[in-house]
Amino acid sequence: MDTPPAALKPPDQLNPQNRGQIGSDSRSFPALKAILLTVVATVLLLAIHHWWNQARTWEKTDNATIVGTAHQISSRTSGSISEVLVLDHQPVKAGQILIKMDDGDEQAALSRARATLLQADAQIALAQANSSKAKADFERASELIKSRVFSIADIDTARAAKDAAAAALALAEAGKDVSLAALHEAELQLSYTVIKAPSDGHIGAKAVQTGNRVFPGQPLMAVVEDFSWIVANFKETQVSKMQHGQRVEVRIDAFPDRIFPASVESVSPASGATFALLPPDNATGNFTKVVQRVPVKIYFDEADAREFNGRLLPGFSVIVSVNVREPVHVLGALSATRAHE
């Protein structure tokens, strides 16, 4: 069978328009590739520049936590708990009564101290009367000895009686001082049966119930103050440029969508290992160099401290970034928070 003449032509001669399109695509591909490489290289350079700028400007660590003041509440005397007037996590004010103890023994001791004080007053009155009589007898004897009515022995006896009466009066007055001290101690022991909050805050770690028998120093609960700050443990290679007043950005895990402004308050005078219970001694044993951590104290901005009062809880994990290149500035919160602490 004969082949049509069109089938014998080369493919590029069949459709001139397609031939032009194929040539154009082959020429545009290298240009598109060059554009893409340029864009990628530019983005990469910008990323490297941003990373380098960040590394030079900010020192960052996630070894940081929020810290606060927790007052451990304990008893100063032994006894039984008669009333517990607060609940877990309850807000309290400074001076508010937290616990009342059975004060029967202390009330009895106070009554005895008051009775002893009254007895001391009576002894002083008696000693004063005896001293006045002995003094008067000595003065009369001194006058009568001139007329030879009293002998020298009589005047010596009167003088001795006067001195003895004066000594008895001084002893009675000293006894009153002892009684006053005993009364003061009894009042103190009675005051220890009422335990009050040392500051404003919230109750935590409550471990006491009505009827419990407690002993001096036994932890009963804690009062956690609302004021808090940050302790960030930076590597020793990061703190060379840190100083008071530098700007800080804080990210708290509990509030992931917010960046809290803060400021460096102070840098620890020694590494954390120096204050450990068993500090390392590099002069003994095999030495292995370990990068030390240095605690840095950071205060929140005053506005955030007010807005999140009681919500920035001690123990929260945070990520801290300190700007070590900008000029030092101090947030308005520092004076107030430093005075509070």
| The pLDDT value given to residue 263 | 93
Tell me the C-alpha distance between 194 and 190, whole Å: 8
Report phi then psi at 103, rounded to 5.
-110, 25
Nearest CA among 75, 71, 72, 73 for reference residue 189: 75
DSSP letter at 5? Answer: G
Give ∠ CA 154-157-161 in degrees, rounded to 5. 140
| The pLDDT value given to residue 146 | 64
How confident is the prediction along the chain (341 residues), in pLDDT tens digits per residue? Answer: 455 554 445 555 545 555 555 555 555 667 777 777 777 777 776 766 556 555 567 899 999 999 999 999 999 999 999 999 999 999 999 999 999 999 999 999 999 999 998 988 888 888 888 877 777 776 776 666 666 655 667 666 777 877 787 888 888 888 888 889 999 999 999 999 999 999 999 999 999 999 999 999 999 999 999 899 999 999 999 998 899 999 999 999 999 889 999 999 999 999 998 888 888 877 777 788 889 999 999 999 988 888 888 889 999 999 999 998 876 655 544 444 444 45
Sign of the C-alpha dihedral computed for residues 32, 33, 34 and 36 taken in this order: positive
Tell me the C-alpha distance between 195 and 206, whole Å: 14
3-class state of residue 338 by DSSP: helix
Tell me the C-alpha distance between 336 and 341, whole Å: 9
| CA dist 305 → 227, 231, 318 (Å) | 8, 16, 15
Contact residues for 241 (Cβ-Cβ < 8 A; gap 6+): 59, 324, 325
| The pLDDT value given to residue 66 | 95
In this structure, the dihedral spanned by the alpha carbons of residues 270, 276, 277 and 282, taken in order and rounded to 10 degrees, is -80
Does residue 203 contact residue 92 with C-beta atoms inside 8 Å?
Answer: yes
The residues spanned by each domain of the chain are: 59-70+222-280+288-340, 103-192
The two three-digit tokens of residue 217, written as one number = 């120093």
Give ∠ CA 264-268-269 in degrees, rounded to 5. 135
Q: Per the confidence metrics, is the pTM higher than 0.85?
A: no
Pick the CATH number of 59-70+222-280+288-340 from 3.40.50.720, 2.40.30.170, 3.40.50.1000, 2.40.110.10: 2.40.30.170
| The pLDDT value given to residue 161 | 79
| The pLDDT value given to residue 336 | 42
Rg (CA), the chain: 44
| The pLDDT value given to residue 150 | 59
Contacts 24+ apart (CB under 8 A), 113-121: 113/179, 113/182, 113/183, 113/185, 113/186, 113/187, 114/183, 116/179, 116/182, 116/183, 117/176, 117/179, 117/180, 117/182, 117/183, 119/179, 120/172, 120/175, 120/176, 120/178, 120/179, 121/176
Does residue 79 contact residue 102 with C-beta atoms inside 8 Å?
Answer: yes
